[in-house]
Amino acid sequence: MTDLVVRGGTVVTSTSLGLADIAVTEGRISAVGANLDLDAGQEIDASGLHVFPGGIDSHVHFNEPGRTEWETIANGSAALAAGGYTTFIDMPLNNLPVTIDGAALDLKLKAAERSSLIDFGFWGGLVSGNLARLAELHARGALGFKAFMCPSGIDEFPACDEGTLREGMKQIAELDSILLVHAEAPERLHAPSGTSWMDFVLSRPPEAEWTAISQAVGIAVETGCRLHVVHVSTPHGFEMIRKAQADGADVSGETCPHYLLYADSDLERLGGIGKCAPPLRSVEFRDGLWRKLVEGQVPMVVSDHSPSTLDLKHGNDFSAIWGGISGCQTTRQLLLAREELDLQLIAGLTSINVARRFRLKGKGDITAGFDADLWIVDLGHKDVVRREDLLYRNPFSAHEGQPIRGRTVRTLVRGKTVFASGQAQPGSAGRLTSLTI
């Protein structure tokens, strides 16, 4: 018995694009094909619309529990659903307690089960002092681990020294898990010499990223650990990763819309709302990163949604302003607005490539056997990012005013509509995502 058929949409995956019907049975895709001859309990007419696999944002900070005045799982997951996303993976900070042991993961799991509109997973933390906790985090379902090579900005989540990084990677390799690193080498960072945005940018030079990638790759090769570099901000960072892959290392990288769309000089206009680490880079690096994206040399684009209250983004001393960009709702729509980017490439960057790299079971594709996570979108619709449309707990973003394309007609998680007609549907439909193995 088929529960649902989505009829007549242009189905976009990383490997195909064409008119097709999608049949859904018990939350999974049971058939995909032209003019499916099936009776279903429910039909959705998608003619004139595109249907993408639900997006997967593997880099968000939803801050729950502990800092829900900055963001909540309810708000963050609704924002993602509004932008065509059906799964998120939450970082082990800036929630409190930070997710560095099993008890903290349990708290976050309960919070997500209570209020997430979409499916979810969690990264555990690797910090100096919690090596004995990695196995319990893994056993409770952590999809992998996150470490900082420099101070994180959160005292409760200290940086990894080299010894911890090496021992952590050894353990993570034994667990057949993956380590995500924030790659900025502390010895290449220095205190800002003044209070301007430019002083801040100069205090975190691109060489810090390159040194850290080189160190992390070296330890990954030595320990046999799978490694993923978060928010790569320079084209050379991706070149280093490709070179390491060619040499046999199991390493990958991601970038974020802000490094593709803005340069450091945009901080004059954006002020503290555009502060993040690594910082926005030169026009040359921004354009070089964009070229790599268009050429298919960047495997994934994720938001690094790292919100706070608006007052923390203002002030006369740029170095004292909270660092982090709010943006998870609009990643896909921002990419779609740049029409030189192929639709299939965007599908890959925001769904299957993420699912494959992180081994997410049944996620990221529109094919029989996968979860019926679907984004039905009107690509004829063009607009700009507007504050009043943002569903964050604190609705502001560095992306306000940027062109976007695609109005969300409906977002489905495992066959259930979670967002339609401009509204998040009430309730908590999400559940914990598991690994393929």
Nearer to Zn ion, 21 or 304 (CB): 304
Least distance (Å) between residue 230 CB and Zn ion: 6
Nearer to Zn ion, 209 or 304 (CB): 304
Token representation of residue 329: 């709702």
Least distance (Å) between residue 400 CB and Zn ion: 20
Least distance (Å) between residue 124 CB and Zn ion: 15
Least distance (Å) between residue 142 CB and Zn ion: 16
Nearer to Zn ion, 9 or 307 (CB): 307
Torsion of CA 263, 268, 272, 274, to 10 degrees: -20
3-state SS assignment for residue 413: strand
The interface region with Zn ion, picked from 100-108, 139-147, 241-249, 297-305 by CB under 5 A, is 297-305
Say how many residues touch Zn ion, by CB under 5 A: 1
Question: CA–CA separation, 200 vs 141, rounded Å?
Answer: 37
The interface region with Zn ion, picked from 95-103, 195-203, 301-309, 372-380 by CB under 5 A, is 301-309
Least distance (Å) between residue 357 CB and Zn ion: 17
Nearer to Zn ion, 85 or 419 (CB): 85
Nearest to 111 by CA among 130, 97, 100, 132: 97
The interface region with Zn ion, picked from 27-35, 304-312, 329-337, 402-410 by CB under 5 A, is 304-312
Q: Which ranges of 175-282 would DSSP assign to H, the alpha helix?
A: 197-203, 206-223, 235-246, 257-261, 267-270
Least distance (Å) between residue 177 CB and Zn ion: 19
Nearer to Zn ion, 304 or 373 (CB): 304
What φ, ψ does residue 78 adopt, rounded to 5°?
-65, -40
The verdict on 184 binding Zn ion (CB under 5 A) reads: no
Least distance (Å) between residue 304 CB and Zn ion: 4
One-letter amino acid of 373: D
Token representation of residue 368: 């029989």
Site string for Zn ion, 250-289 (x = CB under 5 A): ----------------------------------------
- DSSP secondary structure letters along 255-312: B-HHHHH--GGGHHHHGGGG--SSPP--HHHHHHHHHHHHTT----B---B----GGG
Distances (CA, A) of 224 to 141, 149, 166: 21, 19, 10
The interface region with Zn ion, picked from 134-142, 205-213, 296-304, 366-374 by CB under 5 A, is 296-304
Residue 252: its H or E element: strand 251-253
The interface region with Zn ion, picked from 82-90, 96-104, 298-306, 330-338 by CB under 5 A, is 298-306
Task: Using DSSP bridges, classify how beta strands 2-12 and 50-53 pair: parallel, antiparallel or unpaired.
Answer: parallel
Nearer to Zn ion, 217 or 277 (CB): 277
The interface region with Zn ion, picked from 72-80, 192-200, 299-307, 406-414 by CB under 5 A, is 299-307
- DSSP secondary structure letters along 34-71: TT----EEEEEE-TTSEEEEPEEEEEE---TTT-TTT-
Least distance (Å) between residue 229 CB and Zn ion: 12
Least distance (Å) between residue 277 CB and Zn ion: 9
How many residues comprise the chain? 437
Phi-psi region of 179 (alpha: psi -120 to 50; beta: other; left: phi over 0): beta
Distances (CA, A) of 24 to 88, 233, 372: 22, 39, 6
- DSSP secondary structure letters along 53-118: EPEEEEEE---TTT-TTT--HHHHHHHHHHTTEEEEEE-SSSSSS-S-SHHHHHHHHHHHHHH-SS
C-beta nearest to Zn ion: residue: 304
Nearer to Zn ion, 58 or 433 (CB): 58
Nearer to Zn ion, 7 or 393 (CB): 393
β-sheet bridge partners, residue 178: 226
Query: Residues 64, 304, 371, 373: which binds Zn ion (CB under 5 A)?
Result: 304
Least distance (Å) between residue 189 CB and Zn ion: 17
The interface region with Zn ion, picked from 73-81, 300-308, 381-389, 422-430 by CB under 5 A, is 300-308
Give residues in contact with Zn ion (CB under 5 A).
304
